[in-house]
A = this chain, B = another copy of it.
């Protein structure tokens, strides 16, 4: 195969490999998972469509699930927690963290997110991974709040609750008509918590 040279050749600068192997793998994986289902897709299939080998897939992603979870959300959450103003209360900090997460998914990413979510919703193995990622946000929030001097009990409740609300907002964003962006829905979930826990 000389596809690399073929394609890049006419541009002038010859790169040794086609660029963005990671991205190509992620794209190929989502397509294949959507076309034939996660279990009916083999890692070799994905690598093949991306013009790579199975071994290379595992150099970029730890396993067959991880390829759908490569986004920048964790970094955004960490940054928000790092930069949260000192005066804020615990729940407000959790809210800021989740709003930062929501920032990773602007309206234009909704088509992609919906396709991806359809695959995840059809695949328990992928749901597990998604839940673990979300849970890791709770751990980040918990750690940050404890570091801020919050009581451990408050820390944990706020951390878990914040993520729970983000999950609700995200589901509403995916299921809705696109009229509200994820940030707005996330704020709404935090507001609604007050009503629910009061009523």
Contact = CB atoms under 8 A, between A and B. Distances in A.
Interface string A181-195: 000000001001110
Interface in A144-184: 153-154, 156-158, 160-161, 163-165, 167-168, 171-172
A160 B156 contact: no
Given A131-B135, A161-B164, A198-B198, 6 more contacts: A127-B135, A128-B128, A161-B165, A161-B197, A164-B164, A193-B197
Contacts of A171: 156
A90 interface: yes
Interface of A: 89-91, 124, 127-129, 131-132, 135, 153-154, 156-158, 160-161, 163-165, 167-168, 171-172, 189, 192-194, 196-199
Nearest to A154: B196
A193 to B, nearest CB: 5
A132 B168 CA distance: 16
A139 to B, nearest CB: 10
15 contacts: A91-B197, A91-B199, A127-B132, A128-B132, A131-B132, A153-B192, A156-B171, A157-B165, A157-B192, A157-B193, A157-B196, A160-B167, A160-B168, A163-B164, A164-B164
